[in-house]
Amino acid sequence: MRPTDFAKNLTAFLTGYLPGERGASPHTIASYRDTFRLFLAFAHAQKGIPADRLTLGQITKDLVVEFLQWLEHERRSSAATRNVRMAALHSFFRYLQYQSPEHLVEWQRILAIPVKRTEKPSIHYLSVEGIRLLLDTPNQSTRQGRRDLALLSLLYDSGARVQEIIDLTPSMVRLDPPYTVKLMGKGKKVRIVPLLEQQVKFLRIYMTEQKLVEPFANRYPLFSSARREKLTRVGVNYILTKYANQARTRNPALIPETLSCHGLRHSKAMHLLQAGVNLVYIRDILGHSSVQVTEIYARTDSQQKREAIERAYSDVAPSETPAWLTDDGLLSWLKSFNR
């Protein structure tokens, strides 16, 4: 049986266009692949169309809308998950506009399907005192503790995404002034982030001990397990959770119940903002696509300031009801004033 036009285009999209032209990460490609797995399962179970018979001509806006409703009602997907699936579909049909223009009207109808409004999650971040407590937790007298301190302090100081830390090699770190780390971000975009001397001290101790400063180790993973294997996202999160739990026993007010690696990234951004660093510089450090993405930290900081002002006002506001609110005669006069 010959492959269908849908099969050919989807294969080219996932294996050629995304990694080659878009520079998408393996994580993004895997997410998009899972979306189309679900789409094929839906087409087979709900429409009786097996994967090897689905063609581009059978895909319409109505079919895509039914698929999204199936995700929500049958699979109990949240609006946020539905939007992630929609983003994958939109990317594919934008690609098809140029690969299969004979169906252009239908592709544009699909691209017009809106994402669902979702409640924006609040940004959780640690205070400077919280970061200090967290980094004081690893036992520096042990080999593992020194590795974990170097990892956590670099994760915070660079504001890196967890995958960016995992992908680091010794050659991407500059241990001489000016201290920097080269991070490979989304779309394989490279950025250079300055590091503080105190953080580099922990990193230098760790790298020297592990012989990662030697020329032969330039392409080794910067952070690895006891078996010399590259750390995984789960592994890095496990390390952070372990020390967050230990720090929480010392001062629960400084460490929230849930703390992720992205929480350290948020913490760095908020601390830079509160120190007066321009949003443009914060954007460049975090590797955001535009300053509009970075503005979420400014809005969060404004909210914190407003809440502090409201708390201060409630402390000084008079507790007694003003006299004019209980004076019927005065109220009557005010209501009839200037009529």
Q: Which residues are catalytic?
A: 161, 186, 262, 265, 288, 297
Give the whole-angstrom CA distance, residue 290 versus residue 288. Answer: 5
Give the whole-angstrom CA distance, residue 317 versus residue 235. Answer: 50
Give the contacts of 78 (CB within 8 A, at least 6 positions apart): 118
Q: For the chain, first and last CA: distance in Å?
A: 86
Q: What are the beta bridge partners of residue 182?
A: 192
Give the whole-angstrom CA distance, residue 115 versus residue 213. Answer: 48
